[in-house]
Structure 1
Amino acid sequence: MSHPLLLKGFEVELFTGRADGTVVGVAEQAAAQLEGFVTEPDHRNLEYITPPDADYARQLELLLEPRRRLRRWLGERSLTLLPGSTLSLGDSHRFERSDPSNPYHGYIEATYGTRVVTASVHINLGLTEMGALFAGCRLLRCEGALLLALSASSPFLDGVVTGAHSQRWLQFPLTPPTVPLFLDHQHYIHWMDAQLAAGAMRNVRHLWTSVRPNGENRPHDLNRLEIRICDLISHPRQLLAVTVFAELRLLQLLENPQTHDPLRASRLGPDQLAELADSNDRAAARQSLRATLNDWRTGEEIEAGAWIQRELEQVAPLAARLGLSPWLEPLGAILRQGNEAMRWLERHDAGVPLGEIMADGATAMQLAEVEPAPRNTAASHPLG
């Protein structure tokens, strides 16, 4: 069986502020003056979305072009883009509304407060056949902790060390708090209808979980899988490397569901798998690549970094066949040197002030926007 590369797109949330790392909110002005940007309920961060495209080189440019426009606009105001997924040097004790007249924003503030004032990246991968889509959701739900471990970038909040590598994931209000491993499309529809009827969700978008089905008319019309667990990955090439890793796992699943669909390949039942996935996510939020996780296949313990390395070795032949190996290369550096949170914490432990760490991170974020794409690029290329 062969499958082309999947359509993919990104929803990128970013904090804005001064070069010294101080968070300054300008989302409403930026969204009004720049095409393609939208506000979040708190104006200290804003969002842009890339259109779907299967080609990684084109997605790199689609990620960079809006950031460059935004950066020029911010530069005229002596502001910049800030790395990290929490208010590292900000004030999480107050909510700064982007639109005080918006009732939904009022609901968010009253219900969740600044727990939701985070920056992240959501990765959307196109799957239109419902069996494949829900199998993909199951696989990446069970391996979401690996993606969080690679992307963790929120060890600070309000100018202090939190003790976590992804404070964002620990503080963000997962809604509803318990989500099953969906067995198929009908299971998802019935579950969603029940949550809406019970008031556990305000609307169909109010499913805030690590991985979810997505589409224009949820829960019925679906066309993609959305990975929501990743912290902001400020380096575009690293973001694409994480995406390649997730896509290769999905392509393996499509080739051999018997081996890669947790419903078929695990010793654990669906409820146990959902509990395992959530527990792994919390462990990865605390210690990222060093976290002790439980393999969904057997329940046995394994360190996150070792699990990722094992899967990278398994996907390497497929990556080579598809010309994707160069796009995976940044993951090796993350495994060797640590993710952003780990590198920041290492500097902080060595006595570097948090403000200097964030200022250097903002500079590194800007420099990463000029790195060229790999020469060996892959388009929508069939397997085999």
Structure 2
Amino acid sequence: MSAPLLLKGFEVEMYTGRADGTVVGCSADAAGALAGFMTEPDHRNLEYVTPPEASYTAQLELLLEPRRRLRRWLQPRQLTLLPGSTLSLGDSHRFERSDPDNPYHAYIEATYGTRVVTASVHINLGLTAMDALFAGLRLLRCEASLLLALSASSPFLDGEVTGAHSQRWLQFPITPPLVPLFRDHRHYIDWMEEQLAAGAMRNVRHLWTSVRPNGDDRPHGLNRLEIRICDLIDDPMLLLAVTAFTELRLQLLLQDPAGQDPLATSRFGAAELEAIADANDRAAARSSLQARLVHWRTGETLEARTWIAAELEAMAPLAAELGLTRWLAPLHDLLAGGNQAMRWLARHGRGESIGAIIGSEAVALERRERALDAWLATEAAQVPGGS
């Protein structure tokens, strides 16, 4: 019998702005007018969250429904949703507070400045058994670079080419700067309490790393893994494809913990795995699918694109068993044609301005959402098993 699909949910941050790609902040007004939207410390991006749901078809609707309401609100203001994970057309030299009276926002501005004014998507996957959750955390920490390679969408900042595919990840302040590969729940609790006591973290949410445990009573009450490394994946179908890839890695781990847990099967110890994972993340931020990464299992150096393709091939039987093959399809196109950052850089290399690229991509994003709305209306009920 097939294993049940994991609960999943998303935290989506996006910029708002004009059709020419200029970012215009309105998150405080939007959050005040629309249920389900939240502000970030800088008002140029806003966030919405989808509730836990195992079905991919259901999550597609949950991703699209808030955007329909938001777009109706934005239209009379002559604003739209903008793609990308950094302030492609600026201004990253100025912080624009969404709530000037909020002391935590004041702390963020004073401590980090606009390094945190980025847009991204956080992917949450439900695991409630602590041994499985921390084994999954170790696996995803060691493979987070693959997810960044797939999602990279921030090659521009302040109207300039940065030289990176994910400028967001290079500038975002990892906090604390060194995070261990947790052995178990007790190790995580003790480490968190040490960080809080030392002032390295302001609160339990102030763990800004590639992937972290999540739950309503951290560090004690945990029920999911939160992947934080991904740039904004504005295409809901591609986001679900990356999620399906990640879920399959976790499903394999659940089937074969000894064969998939890095601490159980790698030739490297925990400290070496931590260093390899962090170096891989930086390499993926610079070169995404073209990055040369060190495999956690063997120490082999290989291109991110090659590693991802090999995992897709190895997981194909399980994907078919779980009904996820169709949801993975966008990844094959991405591996062949490049991720968003790579495509944007190719267009810029052919002479297109950054403004023209962002503006046209904003139009394409809205068209894609309308097409998915139509698809859901006519075909979602026919998805076998509701996955």
Q: TM-score, normalised by structure 1?
A: 0.98
Is 2:59 the partner of 1:59?
A: yes
Within 2, Cα distance between the matches of 1:307 and 1:329?
Answer: 17
Is 2:31 the partner of 1:31?
A: yes
Within 1, Cα distance between the matches of 2:113 and 2:288?
Answer: 26
SS at match of 2:148: helix
Per-residue deviation, 1:2: 5.9
Within 2, Cα distance between the matches of 1:155 and 1:118?
Answer: 12
Counterpart in 1 of 2:253?
Answer: 253
Judged with a 3 Å threshold, the aligned counterparts in structure 2 of structure 1 residues 56 and 378 are, in CA distance, closer, same or farther, namely farther
Within 2, Cα distance between the matches of 1:58 and 1:90?
Answer: 36
Counterpart in 2 of 1:344?
Answer: 344
Is 2:79 the partner of 1:107?
A: no
Aligned CA RMSD, in angstroms, stands at: 1.2
Judged with a 3 Å threshold, the aligned counterparts in structure 2 of structure 1 residues 165 and 300 are, in CA distance, closer, same or farther, namely same
Is 2:340 the partner of 1:334?
A: no
Judged with a 3 Å threshold, the aligned counterparts in structure 2 of structure 1 residues 55 and 362 are, in CA distance, closer, same or farther, namely same
Contact 1:324 1:378 in 2 (8 A): no
Within 2, Cα distance between the matches of 1:271 and 1:2?
Answer: 36
SS at match of 1:76: helix
Per-residue deviation, 1:300: 1.2
SS at match of 1:9: strand
Within 2, Cα distance between the matches of 1:227 and 1:123?
Answer: 5
Contact 1:213 1:222 in 2 (8 A): yes
One-letter code of the match for 1:16? T
Counterpart in 1 of 2:234?
Answer: 234
Within 2, Cα distance between the matches of 1:377 and 1:109?
Answer: 46
Contact 1:4 1:380 in 2 (8 A): no
Written as runs of structure 1 = structure 2, the 5 A alignment for 1:172-251 is 172-251=172-251
One-letter code of the match for 1:66? P
Deviations 1:167-212 (A, max 9, x none): 0000000000000000000000000000001100000000000000
Within 2, Cα distance between the matches of 1:237 and 1:322?
Answer: 18
Residue of structure 2 aligned with 1:377, choices 364, 374, 383:
383
Within 2, Cα distance between the matches of 1:2 and 1:333?
Answer: 27
Per-residue deviation, 1:379: 4.6
Is 2:100 the partner of 1:91?
A: no
One-letter code of the match for 2:332? G
SS at match of 1:232: coil
Contact 1:124 1:225 in 2 (8 A): yes
SS at match of 2:234: coil
SS at match of 1:333: helix
SS at match of 2:189: helix
Contact 2:57 2:386 in 1 (8 A): no
Per-residue deviation, 1:326: 0.5
Judged with a 3 Å threshold, the aligned counterparts in structure 2 of structure 1 residues 328 and 99 are, in CA distance, closer, same or farther, namely same
SS at match of 1:336: helix
Contact 2:36 2:66 in 1 (8 A): yes
Q: Which has the higher helix share?
A: 2
Contact 1:10 1:49 in 2 (8 A): yes
One-letter code of the match for 1:75? Q
Within 2, Cα distance between the matches of 1:54 and 1:269?
Answer: 34
Within 1, Cα distance between the matches of 2:267 and 2:62?
Answer: 41
Within 1, Cα distance between the matches of 2:107 and 2:354?
Answer: 33
Contact 1:316 1:325 in 2 (8 A): yes
Within 1, Cα distance between the matches of 2:383 and 2:107?
Answer: 45
SS at match of 2:77: coil
Deviations 1:73-107 (A, max 9, x none): 11110000000000001200000000000000000
Per-residue deviation, 1:299: 1.3
Contact 1:23 1:87 in 2 (8 A): yes
Written as runs of structure 1 = structure 2, the 5 A alignment for 1:62-77 is 62-77=62-77
Percent of pairs identical after alignment? 71
Per-residue deviation, 1:329: 0.0
SS at match of 1:143: helix
Within 2, Cα distance between the matches of 1:168 and 1:74?
Answer: 25
Per-residue deviation, 1:265: 1.2
Within 1, Cα distance between the matches of 2:291 and 2:2?
Answer: 35
Written as runs of structure 1 = structure 2, the 5 A alignment for 1:112-127 is 112-127=112-127
SS at match of 1:320: helix
Contact 2:20 2:356 in 1 (8 A): yes
One-letter code of the match for 1:158? D
SS at match of 1:221: coil
Contact 2:2 2:322 in 1 (8 A): no
Within 1, Cα distance between the matches of 2:293 and 2:327?
Answer: 26
SS at match of 2:122: strand
Deviations 1:295-324 (A, max 9, x none): 000111010000000000011100101111
Per-residue deviation, 1:3: 3.1
Is 2:128 the partner of 1:128?
A: yes
Judged with a 3 Å threshold, the aligned counterparts in structure 2 of structure 1 residues 379 and 261 are, in CA distance, closer, same or farther, namely farther
Counterpart in 2 of 1:266?
Answer: 266
After TM superposition, the runs of 4+ consecutive aligned structure 1 residues lying more than 3 A away are 373-381
Per-residue deviation, 1:16: 0.2
Counterpart in 2 of 1:158?
Answer: 158
Within 1, Cα distance between the matches of 2:365 and 2:189?
Answer: 40
Within 2, Cα distance between the matches of 1:290 and 1:364?
Answer: 25
SS at match of 1:226: strand
Is 2:317 the partner of 1:311?
A: no
Is 2:143 the partner of 1:137?
A: no
One-letter code of the match for 1:156? F
Within 2, Cα distance between the matches of 1:229 and 1:12?
Answer: 13
Contact 2:293 2:303 in 1 (8 A): yes
Q: TM-score, normalised by structure 2?
A: 0.97
Judged with a 3 Å threshold, the aligned counterparts in structure 2 of structure 1 residues 221 and 136 are, in CA distance, closer, same or farther, namely same
